[in-house]
Structure 1
């Protein structure tokens, strides 16, 4: 199993992101599976995170493909005024350690390392804030470990199974990732963002990846999505079980999608209909935002989340 860590100097002087890097080692002990059993995760992997603010509220903010914790920089200050904000980088992304072989990534790896991360930090009373793969993994985990969670905020995400029909735009993205020899991280993010990002911001998204081997996680993630024509073996059962549990979810849940994301917009109403308590919250769209809505409307979204906390 090849692995690498991005040199720290690549993360210096990033725009609006001077947050201290914290880390824990995950995968060095048994991690909880969706079924509640324990499975051996292998050698330890360093998982990096931001940890800001304090208080009785805890916000766990999960990124997706191909971003990292930098995506939440516009939201952290507002959320940190109310409580503790924890923003991990999934294994293979951001300031976390990276496996360099695409075949070493799996849904189970991301699920189990997230579970161990939450358990090692002993996060409680969590408001989950999740987008893209952060939602696929995060909502699945929350469904199986509800006692740790107080609320859900699901943004531009879904909980797919082998019955899921994906949008043509998703296949365009997945097929692009499959055929390129050099994955243009910054370009992918700009193309899915309404806001014109500066050269420095685009460089910040590229910072974790000094070479193609370090992008193995970003290459691997798209094809893991469970769907009618494939997906990573095993995860369809986990997400299907999570969907059944989410139907019975009684704690507050806020589905907050961008109105201009062609990939996930069709999933918004089905997700709002799936999560048992979601229709108790306002029917809100983030206007003028695309897939990476944290970039397009981060401050607005953070205020929406605090309003959600206040009313629940």
Structure 2
């Protein structure tokens, strides 16, 4: 009796396994058929020859090949074109030509937007919003009035950030240009900013970011800050403004010398803050000894390049 029950259960189990396997094979067949149909439609659509205004077929470099090869090669060309659109900037010249003197600022400041100027923040009360970094309004105003052309260059999508930037600078007083994801190179999963496309003298270009990989083409032009995560007691932008104003007031001929010096520190803003403190101590010492404090001020321009 037990043997019969066991054989019955085994038979039912085998039948169920066979049904499951048949369903799986059918699913694979349907999926494979759908992919085949979609692939065929893609080849027919992308591989067909171009036609003129009157519907006539236009000759191309593949017209002399067998019909199947024509379609395959045209499809591959189209796919390569779209891949290039994703991986390379949408245009070679990202910014227009500089303005004629004296309207063109001497220096160009390139700023990452997310986690440098603002931080995406979520709460039950407000949902998702962009939180402004402490001092961001004063920072933009002071830098735009210090012989800097301000450019937002972010790896984020334009549709998402354009209205946020509008709120930050509603009258376009401080931010001259905006560049987004379509202006970057996509390499190994990272959107990389190529400063060569800015159409500016790179000896006068400073890029501020928190991601080294995003500026790996031009590390000598980069000032890498710690990523701002929304802390309310942050003062980095005010210190950054002081550093940038010092560069402008010192009339630095090649900003890369300054940036390479500060690039050796894990926290360049803290290093600049320490340099400022020591400068003030030296000036106070000069005054205490009855010497002209202008001697200390005279080397302010070279302080950041030692």
Q: Same fold (TM over 0.5)?
A: no
Bigger relative contact order (CA 8 A; separation at least 6): 1
When the two structures are superposed, what TM-score results if normalisation uses the length of structure 1? Answer: 0.23
When the two structures are superposed, what TM-score results if normalisation uses the length of structure 2? Answer: 0.24
Bigger share in helix: 2
